[in-house]
């Protein structure tokens, strides 16, 4: 039998409001830096998949579809390295996001991951990608710890 979990995001609304504000700042910075919104959604989806956050994976997959992301690319995101469906920039951003998301296992973002991203993105873009990854990882941790249920209707 599963223990009832507190939905952490609603149990401390003052802090969650600040996290949402940070998310808005990062989203605005991504736009200002010229980052493709689809790329940001792919990064969020992939990090959410790695963290096992069904709620965020569901939300950001739906958000990506609203941006006209293709079903095929969404289905193949877990195996992006095995396809040629993703651009060089997307591949570098996904590798960076994966490396940052799995820090507890690897203890490092290796140069062979960081360097391609640093070469393909401006410094501002790279910083925004890192912040977007950090923010989604924070949301994922609350979603997983709370076992946040999926919305009933979409």
Task: Report the predicted TM-score, pTM, of the whole model to 2 decimal places.
Answer: 0.94
For the stretch 110-127, pLDDT in tens is 999 999 999 999 999 999
83-103 mean pLDDT = 98
CA 127 – CA 65 distance, rounded (Å): 25
CA distances from 112 to 38, 54, 108, 109 (A): 24, 30, 11, 8
Q: What is the pLDDT of residue 10?
A: 84
Is 1's pLDDT higher than 70? no
CA 71 – CA 146 distance, rounded (Å): 28
Per the model's pLDDT, the better-predicted residue between 41 and 151 turns out to be 41
Inter-residue contact 90 to 39 (CB < 8 Å): yes
């Amino acid at each position: 039998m599963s223990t009832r979990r507190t939905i952490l995001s609603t149990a401390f609304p003052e802090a969650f409001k600040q996290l949402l504000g940070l998310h808005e700042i990062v989203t605005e910075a991504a736009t200002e830096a010229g980052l493709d919104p689809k790329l940001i959604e792919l990064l969020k989806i992939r990090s959410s998949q790695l963290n096992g956050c069904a709620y965020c994976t569901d939300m950001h997959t739906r958000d990506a579809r609203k941006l006209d992301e293709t079903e095929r690319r969404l289905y193949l995101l877990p195996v992006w390295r095995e396809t040629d469906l993703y651009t060089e920039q997307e591949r570098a951003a996904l590798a960076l996001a994966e490396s940052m998301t799995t820090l507890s296992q690897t203890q490092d973002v290796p140069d062979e991951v960081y360097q391609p991203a640093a070469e393909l993105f401006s410094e501002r873009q790279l910083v925004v990608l890192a912040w977007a990854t950090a923010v989604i990882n924070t949301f994922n941790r609350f979603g997983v710890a709370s076992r946040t249920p999926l919305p009933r209707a979409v």
